[in-house]
Structure 1
Amino acid sequence: MKSGATGSRSRVGVLRLGAALLCGVVLAACQSPRDALQQLAQQRGQNLESVRGGDFPLALLAPSRAARGATLRVYLEGDGHAWATASQPSLDPSPHNLLVARLALDDPRPSAYLGRPCQFFAAAPCRPALWTNRRYAPEILHSLDQALDSLKARYGNVNFELIGYSGGAALALLLAATRDDIAQVQTLAGNLSPRLWAAQRQLTSLDGSLEPLDQRQRLARLPQRHLVGLDDSVVPASLARSYRDALGEGRCLTLIELPGVSHDQGWESAWRLWREQPLRCGPAQP
């Protein structure tokens, strides 16, 4: 009788533990990307806010201070959850993986994280085209451009360093080609050329999107370093090599190929090794 009661209590304990774990999984699954970003920011002593970028409020994690006159580092989010299926656009492009926000919050220097239009904050103009074929459209670029102006007014920095992840890399390059205060660009798993990327993957071209290589003369003079994962099947390392070759002479570019790094795995440790390494313009990289 005693052993039976003990066994019954054990089974009840196991059931309670299972129920608790299930509740935790359900709550995590029900947490919105915006709530998850807010929670992450609070864990690091920051708050999620928004900054106006054209017709869109953009998610912003901003440092409490930045040295006046210095270069402000800004992390640009990737394309996020653009597609629900291979043929069906997502209803909410907010990223489910907060990798870029974590990299920004973990950076020892004052850094800002900037989301893309329609990520985390909805707006009247939001429609699936803005995170599918028009993900690098002029209105998207204009939105980020205005947000950088707002950050510059807040912090009084002279220049920016842009860190672009995945599709955020294309936008970082486009911003650098149109602004005169981008000191350098670094990218992680970057889609450096949407045109070449679509061609390599035999996808329909991104009609309405801008192409960085159309600004190759300006970009050839831009200090830039591109970190690519050799295990990345979403944006393969061959794309960065093609971009490097297409950029032409005078390029100020370093390409770093990282074994064991995929599109969304291995970046925390890889970035810690490279984020403070200086960029130097010199002979073209082989």
Structure 2
Amino acid sequence: MLTGAMAGCTALDPNAHAAALAEPAGLQRELIDSGPFVLTAFSRISQPDKPLHLYIEGDGQAWVSRTEPSLDPTPRQAEGLALAAADPAPNVVYVARPCQFTPMAMNPRCGIPYWTGKRFAPEVVASMDGAVSQFAARLPGQAVELIGYSGGGALAVLVAARRADVASIRTVAGNLDDEFVNRLHGVSRMPESENAVDFASRVAAIPQIHFSGAEDEVVPPTVAQRFANAVGQRCARALTIPKLAHASDWSSRWPAMLAISPVCALTTPEQ
């Protein structure tokens, strides 16, 4: 009975759950001071002459109901971290979103707006971009490959739009057009946030793949296709994975999905 109770506590404790994902994969927890926010990261860097795979978490426990925001957005099951843990690449970094995992006392700016209406605000993007810069500095001259889950997909695009070292973008169930998604669900707009689709032209030359679940009713495949259309078909692909929903076990499929390389198609002389 005691063993069962302890297992239940681990399942309910976000930090214990994160550790259970990270430790077997050799991902070490650390704190990154990145301007407005102190961010929690998990990293494994073993070959400085190889590219960096950097993962950005989703929105986490942003809401406890349709109308009631959470007091702590830390994900109970960190889907972005699960993807990072499934990645066999030598240099893997996972960065949690502002106010996730990091003690609130270390982040005086943390408040409900930063995991609701301001979750993609310019200062959030700047903080995530700063974290990417700090990890990229550990691998001088190496390309950065960004991967984002759900709302982390939006931030992957928004960060890539600010940088010149991003070699590829992959998103999983990515909220790449928050205005469209919010309208789809009948919830409020987020005028204080940046919308990834508005930055499509800035990432049009970056190879990218946007994965969606065929059974995802939160961020349906239409979102990825609309974004790929906005970017242009030369470098962007929208792929729908059968039998997966928004919170499905993406990590079990992730190594095979990683084998699909983002590439830009060659242009023809007529183009």
How high is the TM-score relative to the length of structure 1? 0.85
Q: CA–CA distance in 2 between the matches of 1:49 and 1:92? A: 19
Alpha-carbon displacement from aligned partner over 1:223-272 (angstroms, at most 9, x marks no partner): 1101100111111111112222333x464111111110111214123322
Q: Give the Å deviation of 1:65.
A: 1.9
**2:168 maps to 1:188:** no
What does 1:3-152 correspond to in 2, within 5 Å? Answer: 19-20=1-2, 23-24=5-6, 26-28=8-10, 31=13, 33-68=14-49, 70-109=50-89, 110-121=91-102, 122=104, 123-152=107-136
Q: CA–CA distance in 1 between the matches of 2:120 and 2:134? A: 21
Is the partner of 1:57 in helix, strand or coil? strand
Q: Give the Å deviation of 1:177.
A: 1.0
Distance 1:283 1:257, change over 3 A: farther
Q: Which residue of 1 aligns with 2:156?
A: 172
Native 8 Å contact 1:65 1:155 kept in 2: no
Distance 1:36 1:282, change over 3 A: same
How high is the TM-score relative to the length of structure 2? 0.90
Is the partner of 1:104 in helix, strand or coil? helix
Letter in 2 for 1:278: S
Q: Give the Å deviation of 1:51.
A: 1.1
Q: Which runs of 5+ in 2 are unaligned?
A: none
Letter in 1 for 2:208: Q
Q: Give the Å deviation of 1:157.
A: 4.2
Native 8 Å contact 1:221 1:250 kept in 2: no
Q: CA–CA distance in 1 between the matches of 2:60 and 2:123? A: 17
Q: CA–CA distance in 2 between the matches of 1:108 and 1:22? A: 31
Q: CA–CA distance in 1 between the matches of 2:197 and 2:12? A: 41
Alpha-carbon displacement from aligned partner over 1:91-125 (angstroms, at most 9, x marks no partner): 11011112221221221112111111100002111
Q: Which runs of 5+ in 1 are unaligned?
A: 1-18
Letter in 1 for 2:227: Y
Number of matched pairs: 263
Distance 1:75 1:269, change over 3 A: same
Distance 1:277 1:198, change over 3 A: same
Q: 1:260 aligns with which of 243, 247, 269?
A: 243
Deviant stretches of 4+, over 4 Å: none
Superposition RMSD in Å? 2.0
Q: CA–CA distance in 1 between the matches of 2:87 and 2:76? A: 21
RCO comparison, higher one (Cα < 8 Å, 6+):
2
